[in-house]
Amino acid sequence: MVKELISSITEIPTPDIVVQQIISTASNPNTSAKELEKAISMDVGLSTKILKLVNSAYYGLPRKITKLSEAVVIVGFKTVRNLALSVFTYSALHSKTTFIDHDKLWSHFMATAIFSEQIAKDIGFMNREEVFLAGMIHDVGKLALDLILPAYIFELANVSKKLSKPMFMIEYENSFENHMEIGEELLKHWKFPEEYVSVAGLHEKPSLNPNSPYVEMVCIVHLANVFSNILLPDTSLSYGEPYLDPLVFSVLGIKPSRLETMYKEMKQVLSKSKDIIFGGVEDETRIQT
């Protein structure tokens, strides 16, 4: 029902031509830094925003980067692509004023992205940039619901808070389409590769499809989502004790005892990435460089 609306309703922003250009340029293996720089500079404000992010405390660069082409070879094509997409996600999230706090939801997106990358680093998973992006857009279903049915998701969040029960569990009890399915649909609509669609669909409960070819990525984002809900409560519209799928342990090859160490690490990462989690990208003055 909502799924059908996604491709037709005008409330849903689509990545504009610039963002699409950036994605395709960054994923073309023969792209040079100059070409990516050119694609990004088509949007006047975008390069400045990306440079601000690259120079943020989270990346902790020893020297300040002033040119986008430099940023591309130093932090990597995919990281620059991720930052461009985060700028887009941020503006999509803030495109309309509704009943929910978009800054908070944004911090949930970003924290989950950062935690996902950190977990990938911890367990030695190679495609860390992809994991970052998957973490950032895992909850776009909530974004879509907020744009299409703002009162519904606001009420859903209220019920979740009142019952102290994760939002997705309440969604399962309703016959209504849940934010995972809607997220899947939105990412398909945005022509994102399959792995991101899978993460959006399975991130609340990876064991729904343990045979997914992207189960590692799904589990990483699931775990990052749990950490994010614990460390940044009251940001994801979901309340209560977060659900941790036991599939995580076998897929990621970690023991439950390791969660405590990981938790401490996430806390540390969080403290040094406050600027990009809470700073947002719209209001440039809030980014500490």
Partner 1 sequence: MEIQQLLSKYMLEISKVTNEETLYSALSGILKRVIEINALNVIRSNEIIYSEPSNVYIEKETFADYVPWVEERLYPTFLPLEEVYIGLIPIFKGRKLLATIVIKTNNEPTAEVMDYVQLLAYLSGITLENLRLLDFVDKAREYFESIINLSNDGIIVLNQNDEPEFINSKAKEIINIFPTIIDTILEHVYIQEEFFEIEENNLFFSISTKEVDLLGEKKILINVRNITSEKEVQKLKEVDKIKTNFIANISHELRTPLAAIKAYVETILNMPMSQEEIQEFLGVVYNQSLRLEELLNDLLDFSQLESHTMKILKERVNICDVINNSVISVSKMAEDKSVNIIVNCEDILINCDRRRIEQVIINLLTNAIKFSDPSKEEKYVKVNLNDTDNKVQIIVEDNGIGIPSDKLDKIFEKFYRVDNELTYSIPGTGLGLSIVKEIVELHGGRIEVESDVGKYTKFVVTLPKE
CB 236, CB 204: distance < 8 Å: no
Q: Does 33 bind partner 1 (CB under 8 A)?
A: yes
Size of the site for partner 1 (CB under 8 A): 29
Report the first-to-last Cα separation within the chain, whole angstroms.
45
Least separation in angstroms between residue 288's CB and partner 1 is 18
From candidates 8, 30, 211, 257, binder to partner 1 by CB under 8 A = 30
Q: Does 203 bind partner 1 (CB under 8 A)?
A: no
From candidates 8, 10, 44, 124, binder to partner 1 by CB under 8 A = 124
With 0-12 / 13-18 / 19 or more C-beta atoms within 10 angstroms meaning exposed / middle / buried, residue 19 is buried
Residues contacting 278, CB < 8 A, separation 6+: 103, 107, 286
From candidates 18, 41, 76, 210, binder to partner 1 by CB under 8 A = 76
Q: Does 267 bind partner 1 (CB under 8 A)?
A: no
From candidates 26, 113, 252, 262, binder to partner 1 by CB under 8 A = 26
From candidates 11, 13, 18, 70, binder to partner 1 by CB under 8 A = 70
Q: What tokens appear for 162 in the block?
A: 């009142």
Scored b (16 or more CB within 10 A) or e, 198-237 reads: bbbbbbbbbeeeeebebbbbbbbbbbbbbbbbeebeebbb
Least separation in angstroms between residue 31's CB and partner 1 is 5
Helix axes 68-75, 33-40, angle to 10 degrees: 120
Stretch in the footprint of partner 1 (CB under 8 A) among 47-55, 77-85, 164-172, 228-236: 77-85
Q: What tokens appear for 240 in the block?
A: 């209560």
Stretch in the footprint of partner 1 (CB under 8 A) among 46-54, 68-76, 198-206, 215-223: 68-76
Least separation in angstroms between residue 117's CB and partner 1 is 10
Q: Does 259 bind partner 1 (CB under 8 A)?
A: no
Q: Does 74 bind partner 1 (CB under 8 A)?
A: yes
From candidates 121, 162, 267, 286, binder to partner 1 by CB under 8 A = 121
Q: What tokens appear for 84 in the block?
A: 């461009």
Q: Does 123 bind partner 1 (CB under 8 A)?
A: yes
CA–CA distance, 15 with 65 (Å, rounded to integer): 26
Q: What's the count of helices (H) and strands (E) in the chain, helices before strands? A: 17, 0
List residues binding partner 1 (CB under 8 A).
26-34, 36, 60-63, 69-70, 73-79, 121-124, 126, 128
